[in-house]
Amino acid sequence: MIEARGLTKIYQLGASNSRSLRDAVTGFLSRKNSSRETLIALDDVSFTISEGESVGIIGRNGAGKSTLLKILSRITPPTRGTASIAGRVGSLLEVGTGFHNELTGRENIYLNGAILGMRRSEIDARFDEIVAFSELEKFLDTPVKHYSSGMYMRLAFSVAAHLEPEVLIVDEVLAVGDLAFQKKSLGKMKDLGESGRTVLFVSHDMNSISRLCARAIWLRDGKIAVDSSAVETVAAYLHEQTLTGAERVWDDARSAPGNDVARIASLRVVNKKGETTPSPDIRESIGIEMVFDALASDKVLIPNLHFFDERGTCIFISHDWNSGWRERPRPAGRHKATAWIPGNFLAEGTISVTAAVSTYKPLMVHFIATDAVSFTVVDSLEGDSARGDYAGLLPGIVRPMLEWTNE
């Protein structure tokens, strides 16, 4: 059973993250604490999960899902509120935590098992099962640095899958390995849920949430938006997602951002074929298609797009510089401008797009549609993206495929 009462997590931004002693000293001396920015990652979240229930947690990036799991896993304490969990807790926020490249598959099974909270006797008892599940019998005594990324993830997941706690907390770790292995992993998760364990499961994959969980909680901006059956919660979530998804159309001219010079009509994320694409492949070019109405005919109108990552960092800004409309006024009427982001440029993750139309001489912004659409760049593990054969965390806001030369 999991019982959460008013869980709140507030992160101090800026000063508290200072990593150098000098910053801490000067920060202390100047007493800038009052101007410190805070981020409320989780805001007064309460729920009760009964024994044997499987509950999915959904929500956009930054909605507080990971923070909730981290608090329940005791990795970080809540700022306010309490929670109690009855039963032995196993939490999987990542597979392969503590894996060391220099150690063999066998050594890593024991190390990772111990890190996940398994006793040595339990690992001994399940060792053969773990190895059989991973299908890596022949490579057990090979250091994992010689494994392919697929093999590495398979071994890591196999250890995790044999963790048998009474309460299991799982973050999106199923999306590893090839399709066949994913299916197998999902089956294992389903077994766990059906064997009377309490499972708390975060995923972006609405299909697996509906398949694995009877109930789902939707977190939005750190608060519970919907807590209901998985089917209902997923439906409510998807409904909102389509509103702020890859396409946005302003049907009603009066509510559309704009002034008496220009007004936005629609914004879409498209692929080369012109189809709306919420989750473009990292290797393909991505088009942002802006349709707007020019309401006057004597202004030079420059459409511009602003791209932000999940943390709100501006990745880049682009404006129409080469279409010829830079010098001459646009006639009144509907215009369609599309900006193409090359493939193998953006990193994985959700990117939100702010669209605007401006005039530069003199500077004037006619409208700005903030966070109007978003899309999620996905990097498959097929080996021909900049990721190569590496399957782990790859930070950075861009992921270009650079030319490497060797001599």
Partner 1 sequence: MAATDITRITPSGSRLRLGAGEIWRQRELLYFLTLRDIKIRYKQTLIGVAWAVLQPVLTTVIFTLIFSGWARFDTNDIAYPLFAMTGLTLWLFVQNAVSMASNSFVNNTNLVTKVYFPRLIVPLAATLAALFDLIFSIAVLAVLMIYYSAIPSPQILLVPVFMIFAFVLAAAVGTLLSALNVRFRDVKFAVPFFLQVWMIASPVFYPASMISEKWRLIFAINPMVGILEGFRSAIFNKPFDWPLIGVSVISLLLIAAVAVVIFRSMEDDFADVI
Name the residues that contact partner 1, by CB under 8 A. Answer: 1, 11, 16-17, 19-22, 24, 51, 70-89, 91, 93-94, 97-98, 100, 102-103, 107, 110-111, 114-117, 119-120, 166, 196
Do 163 and 194 contact (CB within 8 A), yes or no? no
Nearer CB in complex with partner 1: 114/378: 114
Cβ 113 to partner 1 shortest distance, Å: 8
Cα separation values, 247 from 221, 266, 268, 375, Å: 21, 8, 4, 9
Cβ 158 to partner 1 shortest distance, Å: 17
Nearer CB in complex with partner 1: 310/371: 310
Nearer CB in complex with partner 1: 51/384: 51
Cα separation values, 124 from 121, 166, 228, 339, Å: 5, 20, 40, 57
Cβ 110 to partner 1 shortest distance, Å: 6
Nearer CB in complex with partner 1: 6/343: 6
Nearer CB in complex with partner 1: 52/343: 52
Long-range contacts of the stretch 135-142 (C-beta < 8 A, 24+): 136/105, 139/105, 140/104, 140/105, 140/106, 141/104, 141/105, 141/106, 142/104, 142/105
DSSP 3-state of 93: coil
Nearer CB in complex with partner 1: 161/261: 161
Cβ 115 to partner 1 shortest distance, Å: 6
Alpha helices in 135-178 (DSSP H): 149-161
Q: Annotate 155-168 with b (16+ C-beta within 10 A) or e (fewer).
A: bbbbbbbbbebbbb
Q: How far apart are CA 293 and CA 331, in angstroms?
A: 10
